[in-house]
A and B are shown apart, each in its own frame.
Chain A
Amino acid sequence: MTPPLAHIGHWYHALLYLAPIIIIGGALWWSGRRER
Chain B
Amino acid sequence: MTPRAARRQVAALLVAVAAALSLPATASAHGIAQRADLPVPEWLFAWAAAFVLLVSFVALAILWPRPVLEQARERLLLRVPGALEVLAGAFGVFAFAAVVYAGFAGTQTATANLAPTVIFVLFWVGIPFLTMFVGDVFAAVSPWRAVGRAAGWLATRVGRAQLPEPLAYPARVGRWPAALGILLFAWVELVYVNRDQPSVLATMAVAYAVVMLVGQSLYGVEAWTRNADAFGVAFGLFARLAPLHWRERHLYLRPVLVGAPRMPTGPGAVAVVCVMIGTTTFDGFSQGAVWLDPNGLAARLTSVFHGLGLGPEAAPQGAYTVGLVVVVLIVAGLYRLGIAGMRTVGRDHTTNDLARRFAHSLIPIALAYVVAHYFSLLAYQGQAIAYLASDPLGNGSNLLGTASATIDYGIVGGTGIWYVQVAALVAGHVAGLTLAHDRALSIWRDPRIATRSQYWMLLVMVTFTCLGLWLLSAASR
Contact of A25 among B14, B25, B344 (CB under 8 A): B14
In the complex, are the beta carbons of A14 and B458 less than 8 A apart? no
Interface string of B1-45 (1 = CB under 8 A from A): 000000100100010011001111110000000000000011100
Q: How far is the CA of A19 from the CA of B466 in the complex (A)?
A: 9
Interface string of A1-36 (1 = CB under 8 A from B): 000000100110111111111111100110110010
Given known contacts A24-B459, A25-B459, A32 and B452 CB-to-CB distance under 8 angstroms: yes
Number of residue pairs spanning A and B whose beta carbons lie under 8 angstroms apart: 76
Interface string of B75-86 (1 = CB under 8 A from A): 000000000000
In the complex, are the beta carbons of A14 and B23 less than 8 A apart? yes
In the complex, are the beta carbons of A31 and B455 less than 8 A apart? yes
In the complex, are the beta carbons of B455 and A21 less than 8 A apart? no
- B419 within 8 Å of A (CB atoms): no
In the complex, are the beta carbons of A24 and B21 less than 8 A apart? no
Q: How far is the CA of A18 from the CA of B474 in the complex (A)?
A: 14
Given known contacts A10-B24, A14-B22, A24 and B50 CB-to-CB distance under 8 angstroms: yes
- B123 within 8 Å of A (CB atoms): no
In the complex, are the beta carbons of B14 and A32 less than 8 A apart? no
- List the B side residues contacting A11 at CB < 8 Å: 22-25
Q: How far is the CA of A23 from the CA of B473 in the complex (A)?
A: 21
In the complex, are the beta carbons of A18 and B18 less than 8 A apart? yes
Select from chain A the residue with minimum beta-carbon distance to B3: A36
Given known contacts A20-B47, A24-B54, A14 and B21 CB-to-CB distance under 8 angstroms: yes
Given known contacts A24-B462, A35-B452, A29 and B18 CB-to-CB distance under 8 angstroms: no
- List the B side residues contacting A13 at CB < 8 Å: 25, 41-43
- List the B side residues contacting A23 at CB < 8 Å: 50
- List the B side residues contacting A32 at CB < 8 Å: 344, 452, 455
- B470 within 8 Å of A (CB atoms): yes
Select from chain A the residue with minimum beta-carbon distance to B47: A20
Interface of B is mostly: helix
- B46 within 8 Å of A (CB atoms): yes
Contact of A16 among B23, B43, B49, B54 (CB under 8 A): B43
- B450 within 8 Å of A (CB atoms): no
- List the A side residues contacting B50 at CB < 8 Å: 20-21, 23-24
Contact of B462 among A16, A21, A29, A31 (CB under 8 A): A21
- List the B side residues contacting A35 at CB < 8 Å: 452
In the complex, are the beta carbons of A14 and B14 less than 8 A apart? no
Interface core residue of A10, A14, A32 (most chain B CB under 10 Å) = A14
In the complex, are the beta carbons of B10 and A29 less than 8 A apart? yes
Q: How far is the CA of A35 from the CA of B131 in the complex (A)?
A: 43
In the complex, are the beta carbons of B46 and A14 less than 8 A apart? no
| Smallest beta-carbon distance A27→chain B, Å | 8
Chain B positions 435-453 with a Cβ under 8 Å from a chain A Cβ: 452
Q: How far is the CA of A31 from the CA of B451 in the complex (A)?
A: 12
In the complex, are the beta carbons of B459 and A21 less than 8 A apart? yes
- List the A side residues contacting B397 at CB < 8 Å: none
Select from chain B the residue with minimum beta-carbon distance to A7: B24
- B469 within 8 Å of A (CB atoms): yes
Contact of B47 among A14, A19, A28, A31 (CB under 8 A): A19
- B463 within 8 Å of A (CB atoms): yes
Select from chain B the residue with minimum beta-carbon distance to A29: B10
In the complex, are the beta carbons of A25 and B10 less than 8 A apart? yes
Q: How far is the CA of A14 from the CA of B41 in the complex (A)?
A: 12
In the complex, are the beta carbons of A18 and B17 less than 8 A apart? yes
- List the A side residues contacting B463 at CB < 8 Å: 21
| Smallest beta-carbon distance B146→chain A, Å | 45
Select from chain B the residue with minimum beta-carbon distance to A31: B455
Select from chain A the residue with minimum beta-carbon distance to B49: A20
Q: How far is the CA of A24 from the CA of B344 in the complex (A)?
A: 18
| Smallest beta-carbon distance A2→chain B, Å | 12
Contact of B466 among A7, A21, A29, A31 (CB under 8 A): A21
| Smallest beta-carbon distance A16→chain B, Å | 4
Q: How far is the CA of A18 from the CA of B47 in the complex (A)?
A: 9
Closest 4 CB pairs of A and B: A20-B50, A16-B43, A17-B470, A14-B21
